[in-house]
Amino acid sequence: MLREWKEREYIPPKNMVKLFVKGSFELSKVMLKNFTKLKKVRQEKVIYRPPKRMYEIPEYKPGMKVVRSDEKYLRPTLFCNPYAKEIIALANHLGAFEKEPYEYANDVFEFVKRNVILQIVPIDGVVATLKRGYGSCIHKISLFIALCRAAGIKARYKLYALTVIDQWYDTFINVDPIMREWYDAMGYFMLHGEGEAYVDGKWVVADVGPTPERQVASGIPITKFGDDSIGIWADAIPGGIMRTESLPLGMGFLSKLMMNISPGSIARMNNNVINMYEKGKKMLEEMGGEEEYMKKMGGGMKMPTMKLEKKGIIFE
């Protein structure tokens, strides 16, 4: 079993262990230092209403196609079951086996990015995420990966510790003093990620975490399939990028533990995300849609169109 765990990358890589140990150590220090503050924060009641699911889950019909393979990056892994009925139904609904792999992966990306709202909740499986309609970036990546794998497209996790732009610092970190002190002590946010799908002979990154509305509210470009969040709204800590087939064992337990330290802080973060989403939605309505927004991102300039010319080039 140990060999299988290792092979499927259920055992966290050394870097991730290092990251969690350092994170837990810093968190313990911050908690000890701010014991009274923490007690007060824990007692605070924060009103939180989770967002409603924005889509219907298609009905599963027997005989729907799915790729069942034991190949690396295609098989089920922890919290990511591509054979679940709901996943198969959605994959077929999104055009698996009908569309070209790139087109399908792009549509899966758009579905997950746009419809699943980011909320910090304990790590659980893809079906729970799909039914709920919200989840953390890790939940969203798992859903993306499961939908790709169900259609026979290899997919994996790209996880890293990161520093974020100011606007996201305000949403996630600056919400309460403990969180801020923890981030400042470490100098980075512990874990974020993206999905990667293997299409047309290469791994294509899928930054499914932020909805377009949140990106608009933060004044950053709306990322597309193939756009990396690194360099746009986040910076990975050097040496920290981990590409894995699976989430590691213990992550579910750890995430539950973290939620219990200060549920009020998490609720505040989640409320901030919902507020950002609403703000971005309003902004988009006011400015006439995403195309207009992206035009403005270019400094008010239209992008020239280019008809490629050969000039003096000779292809051998």
Residue 161 binds to another protein (criterion: CB under 8 A): yes
**Looking at beta carbons only, is 45 or 310 nearer to another protein?**
310
300 belongs to the binding site for another protein (CB under 8 A): yes
SS3 201: coil
Instruction: Give the whole-angstrom CA distance, residue 31 versus residue 114.
Output: 36
Tokens of 49: 């209403």
Is the backbone of residue 289 left (phi > 0), alpha (psi -120 to 50) or beta?
left
Residue 302 sits in the site that holds another protein (CB under 8 A): yes
Other CB atoms closer than 10 Å to residue 235's CB: what's the count? 15
Residues 6+ apart with CB under 8 A from 223: 113, 207, 210, 215, 229, 232
Q: Is residue 297 within the footprint of another protein (CB under 8 A)?
A: yes
Q: Is the separation of the CB atoms in 89 and 261 below 8 Å? A: no
Q: Does 307 bind another protein (CB under 8 A)?
A: yes
Nearer to another protein, 62 or 299 (CB): 299
Q: Which stretch binds another protein (CB under 8 A): 80-88, 104-112, 168-176, 236-244?
A: 236-244
Q: Which of 31, 165, 259, 261 binds another protein (CB under 8 A)?
A: 165
- For the bound state, the minimum distance from the C-beta of residue 17 to another protein, rounded and expressed in Å, comes to 11
Instruction: Report the nearest approach of another protein to the CB of residue 16 (Å).
Output: 8
Task: Kindly state the tokens that stand for 193.
Answer: 């990620």
Report the alpha-carbon distance of residue 288 to residue 276 in Å, rounded.
18
Binding region for another protein (CB under 8 A) out of 96-104, 117-125, 169-177, 186-194: 186-194
How far apart, in whole angstroms, are the C-alpha atoms of residue 134 and residue 278? 15
Residue 36 is a binding residue for another protein (CB under 8 A): no
Residues that bind another protein (CB under 8 A): 13-15, 18-19, 22, 160-161, 163, 165, 167, 186-188, 218-221, 227-228, 230-233, 235-243, 296-316
